[in-house]
């Protein structure tokens, strides 16, 4: 008996502690313990309830995982109807609402106090608590009758299964009204999971929330990242507080989540200022809203105004401009981005969405076009959210013309005519003419001139932009034909600056094979890969002639990287630019890597940490790699040497723990010369 009493007391403590951590994590967004510690507490509670089933309670956190699937939802008759709000779309309609409120309260020109809050774009629900315990939840339905989704709502982590607070006595019955929704980041993550699993993706967070809450299997709902926010009550056993604002404070004290953005304002000026403020912050909110709600703050005022038809006189929703609209697809063009990505773009009949006129919408990639089956002539739903690029959400299939042709991605680049490629495991189609393609010029030039590539000091964004926009430079080879006359006509370019740029370009002609390979900007071939290629082949011609099988003989190069390299050198435009670079005087010593037959560090792995007395990290790395060594960024059991300079940090500590040989700069240089 004592054991049972001890277990019961521990279960009560664990439930309270877990509920507190749930509130901190899901409501306050301020976790108080690590996930591993939370999991430990949860497992302990579950073990107690398994060993002592009589201790299991309906409000236990372990009951959030969902029960057995239902065949259908039961019906719930709302004791107090869930009414809709009237809408205002213009400033004049808001002013008229304020005037009606003042007239109804006989206040003349006096300013009224309003409670204001965001209007969630979610699914309206009601929660019923009896003596502080959650007992039933339902959807709005037709306002009078909704669906019983209690089991599913139990899985929503920020809905308290038992009210919290400083008092031990709760209302005999409390009916809370609010909305279930899904945060944007959670929606994107869910859709990615759906895509990865080959399942249907959701159109928007509201549809995802509604579809998740209305699952007949609560275990599916439990896996969906739903949230709840309260915006009022239908019943409260006992007297209501004096105002709506005070009620929201009470709900928050009971650990029911409420909007942080709620406020109390005065008069029509306060209403319009709040609308403008929330409209500006709209895109920074974690969830979607479609407007704001204005309510008379004092319940005595609400009661005096009452209701009209199916809506209250004392409240109104001030809606934002529509962010979804219908229009037609006039054409589907393909744009080429700075990295060579081909993106289908729908050219639309102009439509006003989210406060602006939209004429273009992204279709993302070929797979998305085919999945949504967007065709020229289609009627489509277009969405725009803030500064986000408008996108086509879905096609209205019943309005499609007969025999409308399906979209086909072009086989060559629309900008330069180079071949395009789309690896089997990628969604993006790309142009292979990296050094030649006009759309990729700026990116290709900046990469070519970067410090770890040809290292052309002074050739930055603004200068490259001018050189490309004025058609002075079309490929990296054109850099070596520049003269003072070309540069001095550019904006903010003085004679000394032009001289320095030309000197840096001339200096870059002498490089290494590894740097040159990296400078070409071959997709999937980074700096480390370029060094391995230079070491393995010893010369550019041998690399350009290698097939995929030969490339996969190089350490750390697999099928994807090998295919990218072959595609790059197979494109005639790229070969032409390489020939032009060589003709312009860009050179390196070939075969030096191949001559590294043996050295004291051949095949050894180094990690550099801290500041060395005379060598920079880049210089030390180049010397190590020139003799066949490898430089990694982190210490592991496979590390042979850690080279430590001044202010070496955690890497040195880990090396000492693992017993790895530590070298200073002098010892490194001695090793390099053996």
Task: Choose, from 119, 319, 531, 630, the residue flagged as catalytic.
Answer: 119
Place of tokens 């099988």: 549
Place of tokens 């993706």: 201
User: What whole-number distance in Å separates Cα of residue 570 and Cα of residue 433?
Assistant: 10
Q: Is the dihedral of CA 280, 283, 286, 288 positive or negative?
A: positive
8 Å CB contact between 218 and 152: yes
Order the strands of the 174-182 sheet from edge to edge.
133-139, 123-130, 174-182, 226-236
Query: Would you call 624 exposed, middle or buried from its count of C-beta atoms within 10 A (0-12, 13-18, 19+)?
Result: buried
User: What whole-number distance in Å separates Cα of residue 332 and Cα of residue 405?
Assistant: 11
Residue 590: closest CA among 519, 507, 526, 512 = 512
8 Å CB contact between 249 and 242: no
8 Å CB contact between 651 and 634: yes
Residue 526: closest CA among 556, 549, 571 = 556
Residue 644: closest CA among 670, 606, 601 = 606
Residue 577: closest CA among 414, 432, 421 = 432
8 Å CB contact between 97 and 292: no
Q: Report the 10 Å Cβ neighbour count for 113.
A: 16
Pairing type for strands 133-139 and 605-609 reads: unpaired
Supply the angle between the helices 267-281 and 91-104 in degrees, to the nearest 10. Answer: 140
Residue 147: closest CA among 89, 70, 83, 223 = 70
Distance (Å) of CA 324 to CA 181, 184, 330, 415, 565: 18, 16, 18, 32, 43
Give how far the C-alpha of residue 465 lies from the chain's centroid of Cα atoms, to the nearest Å. Answer: 29
Place of tokens 């592991």: 636
119 is catalytic: yes
Q: Which two tokens stand for residue 378?
A: 């289609």
Catalytic residue positions, numbered? 119
């Amino acid at each position: 008996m004592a054991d049972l009493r001890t277990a019961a007391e521990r279960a009560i403590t664990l439930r309270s502690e877990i509920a507190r951590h749930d509130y901190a994590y899901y409501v306050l967004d301020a976790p108080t313990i690590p996930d591993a510690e939370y999991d430990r507490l949860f497992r302990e509670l579950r073990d107690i309830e398994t060993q002592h089933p009589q201790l299991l309670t309906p409000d236990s956190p372990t009951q959030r995982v969902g029960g057995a699937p239902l065949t259908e939802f039961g019906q719930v008759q709302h004791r107090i109807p869930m009414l809709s709000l009237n809408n205002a779309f213009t400033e004049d309609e808001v002013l008229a609402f304020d005037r009606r409120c003042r007239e109804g309260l006989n206040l003349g020109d006096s300013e009224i106090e309003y409670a204001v809050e965001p209007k969630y774009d979610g699914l309206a629900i009601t929660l019923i608590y009896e003596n502080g315990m959650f007992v039933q939840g339902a959807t709005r339905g037709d306002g009078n009758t909704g669906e019983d989704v209690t089991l599913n709502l139990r899985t929503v982590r920020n809905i308290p299964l038992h009210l919290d607070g400083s008092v031990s006595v709760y209302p005999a019955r409390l009916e809370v009204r609010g909305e279930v929704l899904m945060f944007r980041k959670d929606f994107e993550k869910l859709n990615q999971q759906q895509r990865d699993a080959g399942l249907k993706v959701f159109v928007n967070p509201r549809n995802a929330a509604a579809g998740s809450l209305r699952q007949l299997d609560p275990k599916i709902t439990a896996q969906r990242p739903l949230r709840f926010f309260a915006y009022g009550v239908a019943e409260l056993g006992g007297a209501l507080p004096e105002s709506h604002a005070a009620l929201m404070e009470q709900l928050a004290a009971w650990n029911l989540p409420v909007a942080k953005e709620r406020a109390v304002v005065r008069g029509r000026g306060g209403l319009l200022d709040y609308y403008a403020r929330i409209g500006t912050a709209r895109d920074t909110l974690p969830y979607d809203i479609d407007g704001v709600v204005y309510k008379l703050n004092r319940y005595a005022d609400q009661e005096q105004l009452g209701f009209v038809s199916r809506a209250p006189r004392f409240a109104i929703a001030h809606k934002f401009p529509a962010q979804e609209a219908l229009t037609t697809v006039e054409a589907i063009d393909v744009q080429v981005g700075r990295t060579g990505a081909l993106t289908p773009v729908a050219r639309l009949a102009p439509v006003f969405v989210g406060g602006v006129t939209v004429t273009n919408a992204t279709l993302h990639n070929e797979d998305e076009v085919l999945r949504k089956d967007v065709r020229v002539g289609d009627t489509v739903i277009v969405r725009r959210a803030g500064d986000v690029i408008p996108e086509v959400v879905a096609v209205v299939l019943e309005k499609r013309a007969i025999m409308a042709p399906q979209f086909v991605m072009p086989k060559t680049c629309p900008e330069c005519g180079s071949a395009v490629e789309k690896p089997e495991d990628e969604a993006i189609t790309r142009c292979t003419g990296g050094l030649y393609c006009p759309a990729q010029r700026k990116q290709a030039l900046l990469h070519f001139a970067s410090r770890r590539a040809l290292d052309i000091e002074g050739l930055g964004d603004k200068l490259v932009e001018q050189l490309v926009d004025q058609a002075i430079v079309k490929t990296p080879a054109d850099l070596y034909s520049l003269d003072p006359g070309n540069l001095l006509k550019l904006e903010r370019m003085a004679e000394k600056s032009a001289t320095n740029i030309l000197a840096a370009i001339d200096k870059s002609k002498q490089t290494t094979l590894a740097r040159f390979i990296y400078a070409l900007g071959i997709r999937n071939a980074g700096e480390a890969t370029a060094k391995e290629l230079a070491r393995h082949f010893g010369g550019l011609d041998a690399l350009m002639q290698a097939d995929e099988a030969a490339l996969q003989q190089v350490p750390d190069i697999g099928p994807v990287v090998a295919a990218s390299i072959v595609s790059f050198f197979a494109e005639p435009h790229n070969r032409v630019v390489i020939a032009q670079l060589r003709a312009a005087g860009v050179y390196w010593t070939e075969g030096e890597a191949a001559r590294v037959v043996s050295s004291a560090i051949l095949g050894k792995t180094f990690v550099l940490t801290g500041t060395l007395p005379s060598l920079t990290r880049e210089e030390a790395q180049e010397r190590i790699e020139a003799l066949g060594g490898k430089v990694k960024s982190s210490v592991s059991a496979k590390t042979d040497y850690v080279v430590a300079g001044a202010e070496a940090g955690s890497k040195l500590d880990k090396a000492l723990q693992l017993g790895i040989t530590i070298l200073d700069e002098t010892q490194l240089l001695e090793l390099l010369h053996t």
